[in-house]
């Protein structure tokens, strides 16, 4: 099967790759296995106009690698590309299933933190979260929207039972400010888990799955030296989820057990630190050559 990769361009020049994706783009080109296409970053993400300096002459199957989009925007992207003879391997339904964590939560519930979801109102107003009920459910909890947290900011990693409604509401104003236009779906309140650390680094792994098989298993939290390996039986447990291309992130807990900490669409999930880009794209190509197994 002929396969292409489509990337967003530089913000300033639609004929050049986005600088943050250059290493992947170069690796793809060096494999000699794919056609590559660019689309205008600014025109698409700011104006919803799909501009491409080069388009295929015949129908081409492609993998998108780039920045996150809300599900409704990805659906537009998918159909706009189809009109330009590019068919993405990930359908809009598959993208939404994995991009919105509550959609896939039940499928991984055996091995992930407990969670309560507060959806936005019908006019997309932010949900009103009564902290009393949350504290009755969790001793400690963390906050994210249906897609991402605001990790790396002054927003607390977790809250405890001492948080008041007034304090929580003020923190949520900061949360919404950081997420801005990227805020998606509603708010997830998740049980806070104590993660095992080795030399100050957590022990997290990211697994890319393609056509219901693990494509790559890589350390994902800048671990150094020895760390416990992700159990194969856990990797295999989640290889039959409903998408052709997705990721699951796992982390070791203080007690030595493992939990699923995140799931995502493969198109918009980054490679792990120090992951070999060329090896990844070679494996991706040949995995797509394997017929999809029947369910």
Say if 211 falls within a structural domain.
Answer: yes
Say if 166 falls within a structural domain.
Answer: yes
Residues 155, 210 share a domain: no
Say if 294 falls within a structural domain.
Answer: no
Residues 22, 71 share a domain: yes
Closest CA to 65 of 245, 289, 274, 291: 245
Residues 170, 132 share a domain: yes
Say if 248 falls within a structural domain.
Answer: yes
Residues 202, 172 share a domain: no
- Tokens 């295999």, residue? 236
Last residue of a domain, one of 137, 161, 191: 191
CATH of the domain at 201: 3.30.470.20
Q: Which residues fall within 8 angstroms of residue 210, CB to CB, at 6 or more apart?
A: 244, 245, 266, 284, 287, 288
Say if 276 falls within a structural domain.
Answer: no
Residues 178, 221 share a domain: no
Residues 204, 186 share a domain: no
What is the DSSP secondary-structure string of the chain? --EEEEEEB-SS-TTSB-GGGHHHHHHHHHHT--EEEEE-HHHHHHH-----S---SS-EEEEE-S----HHHHHHHHHHHHTTTEEESS-HHHHHHHHSHHHHHHHHGGGB--EEEEE--TT-PPPP--HHHHHHH-SEEEEEESS---TTSSS-S-EETT--HHHHHHHHHHHHHHHGGG--SEEEEEE---B-EETTEE-EEEEEEETTEEEEEEE-S---S--PPPPHHHHHHTTTSS-SEEEEEEEEBTTS-EEEEEEEEGGGPPPPTT--HHHHHHHHHHHHHSPPPP-
Say if 175 falls within a structural domain.
Answer: yes
Say if 287 falls within a structural domain.
Answer: no
Name 189's bridge partners: 116, 143
Residues 264, 250 share a domain: yes
Residues 204, 152 share a domain: no
Q: Which pLDDT score is estimated for 38?
A: 98
Domains: count for the chain: 3
Last residue of a domain, one of 149, 168, 191: 191
Residues 83, 10 share a domain: yes
Query: What is the residue-level pLDDT of the chain in tens, covering all 295 positions?
Result: 579 999 999 999 999 999 999 999 999 999 999 999 999 999 999 999 999 999 999 999 999 999 999 999 999 999 999 999 999 999 999 999 999 999 999 999 999 999 999 999 888 899 999 999 999 999 999 999 999 999 999 999 999 999 999 999 999 999 999 999 999 999 999 999 999 999 999 999 999 999 999 999 999 999 999 999 999 999 999 999 999 999 999 999 999 999 999 999 999 999 999 999 999 999 999 998 866 555 4
Where in the sequence is the domain holding 156, given as residue range(s)?
114-191
Residues 142, 200 share a domain: no
Closest CA to 209 of 233, 245, 250, 243: 245
Residues 140, 77 share a domain: no
Say if 285 falls within a structural domain.
Answer: no
Residues 183, 199 share a domain: no
């Amino acid at each position: 099967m002929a396969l292409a990769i489509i990337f967003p361009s530089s913000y300033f020049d639609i004929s050049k790759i986005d600088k943050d994706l250059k290493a992947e783009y170069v690796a793809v080109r060096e494999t000699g296995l794919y056609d590559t296409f660019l689309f205008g970053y600014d025109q698409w993400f700011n104006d919803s106009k799909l501009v491409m300096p080069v388009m295929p002459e015949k129908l081409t199957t492609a993998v998108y690698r780039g920045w996150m989009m809300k599900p409704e925007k990805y659906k537009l992207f998918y159909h706009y590309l189809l009109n330009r003879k590019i068919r993405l391997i990930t359908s809009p339904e598959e993208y939404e299933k994995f991009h919105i964590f509550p959609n896939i939560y039940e499928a991984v519930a055996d091995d992930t933190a407990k969670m309560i979801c507060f959806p936005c109102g019908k006019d997309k107003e932010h949900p009103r979260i009564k902290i009393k009920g949350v504290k009755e459910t969790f001793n400690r909890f963390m906050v994210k929207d249906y897609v991402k947290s605001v990790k790396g900011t002054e927003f607390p990693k977790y809250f405890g039972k001492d948080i008041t409604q007034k304090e929580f509401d003020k923190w949520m104003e900061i949360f919404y400010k950081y997420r801005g236009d990227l805020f998606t779906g509603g708010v997830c309140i998740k049980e806070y888990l104590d993660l095992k650390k080795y030399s100050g680094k957590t022990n997290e792994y990211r697994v890319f799955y393609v056509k219901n098989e693990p494509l790559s298993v890589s350390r994902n939290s800048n671990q150094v030296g020895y760390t416990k390996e992700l159990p194969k039986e856990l990797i295999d447990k989640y290889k039959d989820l409903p998408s052709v291309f997705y990721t699951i992130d796992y982390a070791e807990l203080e007690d030595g057990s493992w939990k699923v900490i995140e799931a995502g669409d493969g198109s918009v999930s980054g490679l792990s630190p120090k992951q070999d880009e060329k090896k990844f794209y070679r494996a991706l190509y040949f995995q797509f050559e394997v017929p999809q197994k029947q369910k």
